[in-house]
Copies of this chain bind each other. A is one copy, B any other.
């Protein structure tokens, strides 16, 4: 008998396949064990492009376990990177080269370059990106401060995004932290501040360059309805990957409804 996706068409069609330039999904991993990672690979590896071992959590694994986990993930065709905070600590402590070498040796394939907590001057940022690229990492940078009191002006954000892309970054993350509340484009309840989204995109040449951290469902829904099924999303909790895919492709009420209202008689 036909497979299920031959019987039913996706209400929001056009979902990209791996390797993706748009429709990128980055998972936030706070410490999944190998059994949980094997479960995740079996159920969802088609829908995951990148797994981030967030904050400095990579520091707490036994090396053997970390290598094994990285191996399972990369074998499934998924990039893996340490959290940007760990790189910031290495930069601050003046041990960036050793840090990058160790990450390479462990098997990490991507590198997040951020300045969410530690100040990093523009020329130093450029230098870090260059070093990581030279070592064959896929570089994903981030704009935005973790502390709401230090929010970045949009004009500066536009400049930084353009510069990072010019310097070879694959994507630029719009910071929202693990919680997605009271930071960047989200208010303290996690609702999207539409003006901020519009101001950000007004100064960006290619929207596919942006990777929006969107840990909460209403955020994912807003961004999918605004930018389409193939918006780039990050900080997705591992348990939510199939639910996100249902949102992206219109198999969940919130995004199905738009497709249905456009064509109620399905012709």
Q: Interface residues, chain A, CB within 8 Å of chain B?
A: 1-5, 7-11, 30-36, 38-40, 42-44, 46-47, 54-63, 65, 85-86, 88-90, 92-95, 98-99, 101-102, 105-106, 116-119, 146-147, 177-179, 217, 239-243, 245-246, 249-254, 256-257, 260, 264, 266
Contacts and interface: CB of A to CB of B under 8 A. Distances in A.
B101 A253 contact: no
Residue among A10, A85, A88, A106 facing the most chain B CB atoms (10 A cut-off): A85
A190 B234 CA distance: 26
Nearest to A93: B266
B105 A1 contact: yes
A99 B30 contact: no
A87 to B, nearest CB: 10
A115 to B, nearest CB: 11
13 contacts: A1-B102, A10-B59, A33-B43, A36-B36, A43-B60, A44-B60, A55-B252, A56-B249, A59-B251, A85-B246, A85-B256, A93-B266, A119-B264
A239 to B, nearest CB: 6
Contact of A8 (B8, B95, B178, B245): B95
Nearest to A114: B253
A266 B92 contact: yes
B260 A57 contact: no
A242 B89 contact: no
The complex is assembled from copies of this chain, and their number is 3
Nearest to A30: B243
B30 A240 contact: yes
Contacts of A92: 260, 264, 266
Given A31-B44, A117-B253, A147-B257, 18 more contacts: A1-B101, A5-B59, A7-B99, A8-B89, A30-B242, A34-B39, A34-B42, A35-B35, A46-B60, A56-B246, A56-B251, A56-B252, A57-B243, A85-B252, A86-B251, A89-B251, A94-B266, A118-B256
A266 B96 CA distance: 13
Residue among A11, A94, A119 facing the most chain B CB atoms (10 A cut-off): A11
A17 to B, nearest CB: 13
B65 A242 contact: no
B39 A95 contact: no
A23 to B, nearest CB: 14
